[in-house]
Amino acid sequence: MIRTDDLAQQRLLVAQACRVAASRGLVDGTLGHISLRIDERHLLIRCRSDSDTGLACTGADDVRLVCFDGTAGAAGELDGYQVPNEFPIHAETMLSNPRHRAVAHLHPPAVVAVDLAGITIRPIYGAFDIPGAWHARAGVPVYQRSVLIRNTQLGREMVAAMAGRSLLICRGHGIVSAAGTVQQAVLQGISLDRIARMSLRVVSAGGTLREIDEQDWADLPDLRPSLTVDAAWRNELARITQRPPTDYVR
């Protein structure tokens, strides 16, 4: 049985993740959605309504409990709400890999631009963003179709292109980030956007993208969640909840 108090906290987490993604420019308006697997039958997902004001304004009430077939997970869950058209992105990604408990489908312009420009995501820096560097080293696959992924067949095509990785670029569309937690899924998206932005800056400045030296990887360790995911997420939440100091100048 799903505990009501646990579900309330998880709804809030997904809502916060949507606002973080919007604050980082990874989504715009009502586009994009984030989900969290609850059990073998249910997931929470950011849904849409006739009064939707966008992901930057997501509240816990916008996060609804649904089944893996896209139907309501409990009585009243989809009253006044609709699951995203691209719900198969979430269902098929989670069903393909039990480690993927959270999925973020985002539309970061820099990542879309990098791919359309024919620039491959590569580990061009190290300590600047260690988790991002390791993701780049592993390689970020590309789903070549620019379609709306709105049915099971397209969802499975996308998952096949993902090839078991945690990140995927959808050409001319956006990205999919899958992880064990909502926090990780969004932070991976931020890292991918960061390296895409840096790549564009280097190329725009007339530079050449060059991967870091192989010998450097031994000194780019896993810094543990308390120093990476946990600390980074506290910072992201602070960015969306705290006002700037009174002496802040734009």
Domain ranges (residues) in the chain: 4-240
What gap in Å lies between CA 94 and CA 179, rounded to an integer? 9
Number of H helices, E strands in the chain: 7, 7
Question: Structurally, what CATH architecture does the domain formed by 4-240 represent?
Answer: 3-Layer(aba) Sandwich (3.40)
How much is the average pLDDT of 116-129? Answer: 97
Quote the pTM value. Answer: 0.93
pLDDT in tens, 149-164: 999 999 999 999 999 9
Tell me the β-bridge partners of 63: 46
- Residue 92 falls in the annotated catalytic set: no
**Residue 36 in 3-state DSSP?**
strand
Predicted confidence band at 244 (pLDDT cuts at 50, 70, 90)?
low
Predicted confidence band at 3 (pLDDT cuts at 50, 70, 90)?
confident
Tell whether the model's pLDDT for residue 110 goes beyond 90.
yes
pLDDT in tens, 54-102: 999 999 999 999 999 999 999 999 999 999 999 999 999 999 999 999 9
From the list 86, 92, 157, 236, the catalytic residue is 86
What gap in Å lies between CA 207 and CA 152, rounded to an integer? 42
Buried/exposed code over 156-170 (b: 16+ C-beta within 10 A; e: otherwise): bbbbebbeebbbbbb
Tell whether the model's pLDDT for residue 243 goes beyond 70.
no
Predicted confidence band at 233 (pLDDT cuts at 50, 70, 90)?
very high
Average pLDDT value for the chain: 94
What gap in Å lies between CA 179 and CA 183, rounded to an integer? 8
Tell whether the model's pLDDT for residue 249 goes beyond 80.
no
Residues with Cβ within 8 Å of residue 231, at least 6 apart in sequence: none
